[in-house]
Structure 1
């Protein structure tokens, strides 16, 4: 990065709220992150409160006035929620419609009816990846676990042979592919192009999920050979419905926002004329807000009405979808506040100054930062938000494709080695009836493979783009 770019960025940036040196700023960053880590891991404080307190601690250690620190935090919180909050809400609505209408079950049953034998792990990856696009990770697990257990029992498969591919599909979508909250927040913080990030994310996700899913599941099944636990086979969500949406309509609805956003990115690359009529149209319909809103509206008919839902039932489904995401929105918003506080106290400029002499590639640096925060906090979302805030200034002179790869590097790092401080670890352990050691040998190793393979493909793409 040239000195000119640093000066240009500094001129455009908000004036810092403190004037301490880089050494104290570095200590302030470590102290702020340490406060967040200790609150989450040691004292079991909710991530929203931990990020809020950590932001105030960061400002205090950096010598910033308390009132200005509060303004920085609240400004960042508001900006972040305004940027991605609506998208998270729309994604939650679409996911709830998919689950409650039986559309997810239709996808599962249709694919499983055409798969068998050695193809079953690959079918599970496909199911989890398609369903995982609009669903949060935890919701995806709850939805897919009954299917995984049922397939493993009826087909006499090893639970790990079926379960690991499904978990890999969900996890890869969660970490690398928008419109999931983590990638969306990173895109917003770094200023990356969503369509390009989505396209490259899918490109990285495909080989990553193959290696971490069907391929690794062969070894996981040898290391941990356990039967499907009977007690964890609940009724499927759509068993009380008289009918459910068709396979084609369901898949079309789920993929609609992806197609619209990719179409926008493709037209930008081919036409490259903001005044062009077709590009103006695709810029509008391919924007994340409109693409997801269109999918939700279409889903009310292709999913809700197709399942026999009345207007009141659809309204109730939408209402119920929003309550569970309140915590996610607060965490994401507080993460945005922490990111803005980092920038306003001058950490962004400090990293720009120091990075001129770093030999480590920016993409690898972003991955390592996300890995460290993920290991410490156990939260992929916190890792993504914090890492994006720290490395965002380094994206100033990046090309569109490399800014997108920076988002993916952070996303890959945020998935590294899930262990006992991660709620997902315990969710998988309990659903699959495993011990802590067995969960580490399967789930934790799978997450690490996703992270390492993901950054590997990101680095390869950076050489050709």
Structure 2
């Protein structure tokens, strides 16, 4: 590999680490500076580097920005209306005392099959917060289990775009990939829960104070939270911590205090998810009937599929969700100005997350356009590795270099396709090697890193220990699964 490109990668990463951990500068500024450093050291024109950063910023927010905004709106209404509290109690009853991390990891893995991680985490995170509020602890554990549960199926189970594209590039059978991805998910989910339960209590006392207050309220018991919260199982399911008057004001004479049911609380979440699933299924079926592979630019939706694809677009689906939240969850006497104030508060909390997420996309664009990712992939492909590990390591290296798991797995499939074809390696094994390798060490240049860590309230080294650690654990756990799969189908 070109020494200059390697130096660009090393200095770019070092810039982020030093600025975030050792200076007063925020991660947003650190990511922008790192993008400039990487581009300049790689030999790119400074004006091109700036263009890559701004284009990457814009394209990232174009895909997740509106969704994050709408998601926090729904989350705010769920909070103030009592909908999230009702849902949390229903989840606790369903899965039982002490199994909350299993609940969040399982729900996350199911949701993320049709929904992008960023969208799914924003939609489901209010549940993790409300359960933690009821338990008086374990928020970090719940959030990490939710986020990494989503990572598993997002990377391994079509019709998520990444594994779908890799399946087409390597010529594997779609049904086999879906089944294998689900089996890998079931095998790796225990690692997610075990790591979350191990690291969560260690990080609970180090939560960002603002996030800790949002989750637990003022004056919460840090030691109790670090121990996993309340041990009184009855209080988790029967005694509500939600007081309608704290949020909605005094109940008008002649009316009962407003407490929405879990069914109504679920409506603004479930309906958007069902619409998005409908989009995914309709697109897949329609493309199959037309003989279209992947995201072919020439694809034109059939008349029957267009309504499902339209209403299942995440922006449209979540817009419907916020309308439902406002008009179904809130009582009729809620003043319009108060609702506007709640939405403004939600927008304020999302602002920094949006900036950091976009800056992470900008850095990823610089790493891609400067040639660092491609050079690393070619260098790994040229080494005398066992063929099983060629796509796995390429995906891992590219993921670390530029942040996007989807880009990493597609790059690995493209670079290793000729190697796989001439080696006798089963295409199914090659596909799983690409998608598993792309899960490694999510960190500063991954937009999902910032979504999870900022919503969770983890900063600096704590974010790396929590989120980068849990993604690396499932990456490492996939290696023996790949070896077994190769022995079974090889």
Pick aligned residue for 1:143 from 120, 125, 130: 130
Q: Where in structure 2 are there 5+ consecutive unaligned residues?
A: 112-119, 155-159, 168-174, 202-221, 231-239, 249-256, 291-299, 418-426, 445-451
CA contact (8 A) 1:384 1:411 kept: no
Quickly say closer, same or farther: Cα 1:426–1:328, change in 2 above 3 A: closer
Give the match for residue 414 of structure 1. 442
What displacement does 1:319 show? Answer: 1.4
Quickly say closer, same or farther: Cα 1:267–1:187, change in 2 above 3 A: closer
Instruction: Please give the per-residue CA displacement for 1:210-232, whole angstroms capped at 9, x wherever unaligned.
Output: 554389869999xxxx9736998
| TM-score (structure 2 length as normaliser) | 0.62
CA distance in 2, matches of 1:91, 1:254: 9
CA contact (8 A) 1:106 1:245 kept: yes
Quickly say closer, same or farther: Cα 1:278–1:138, change in 2 above 3 A: closer
Quickly say closer, same or farther: Cα 1:290–1:333, change in 2 above 3 A: same
Q: What RMSD over aligned residues (CA atoms) do the two structures have, in Å?
A: 5.1
Matches within 5 A, 1:322-341: 322-341=347-366
Pick aligned residue for 1:362 from 367, 391, 408: 391
Instruction: Please give the per-residue CA displacement for 1:3-50, whole angstroms capped at 9, x wherever unaligned.
Output: xxxxxxxxxxxxxxxxxx833112211221121122222335321111
Give the match for residue 255 of structure 1. 270
CA contact (8 A) 1:176 1:412 kept: no
CA distance in 2, matches of 1:122, 1:75: 43
User: How many residues are aligned here?
Assistant: 390
CA distance in 1, matches of 2:63, 2:14: 27
CA distance in 1, matches of 2:22, 2:45: 28
Give the match for residue 204 of structure 2. none
CA distance in 2, matches of 1:60, 1:335: 17
Greater mean alpha carbon deviation, residues 269-278 or residues 103-112: 269-278
Instruction: Please give the per-residue CA displacement for 1:122-175, whole angstroms capped at 9, x wherever unaligned.
Output: 3564368669945489866653333223xxxxxxxxx8xx77863554333564
Give the match for residue 51 of structure 1. 31
CA distance in 2, matches of 1:64, 1:219: 40
Quickly say closer, same or farther: Cα 1:364–1:357, change in 2 above 3 A: closer
| TM-score (structure 1 length as normaliser) | 0.65
Asked if 1:267 is matched to 2:278, the reply is: no
CA contact (8 A) 1:261 1:287 kept: yes
CA distance in 2, matches of 1:401, 1:302: 48
Quickly say closer, same or farther: Cα 1:56–1:200, change in 2 above 3 A: farther
Give the match for residue 6 of structure 1. none
CA distance in 2, matches of 1:31, 1:262: 41
What displacement does 1:106 show? Answer: 0.4
Matches within 5 A, 1:70-81: 70-81=50-61
Asked if 1:347 is matched to 2:334, the reply is: no
Asked if 1:122 is matched to 2:99, the reply is: yes
CA contact (8 A) 1:339 1:390 kept: no
Quickly say closer, same or farther: Cα 1:456–1:261, change in 2 above 3 A: farther
Name the SS of the counterpart of 1:121 in structure 2.
coil
Give the match for residue 21 of structure 2. 41
CA distance in 1, matches of 2:150, 2:188: 13
Give the match for residue 142 of structure 2. 166
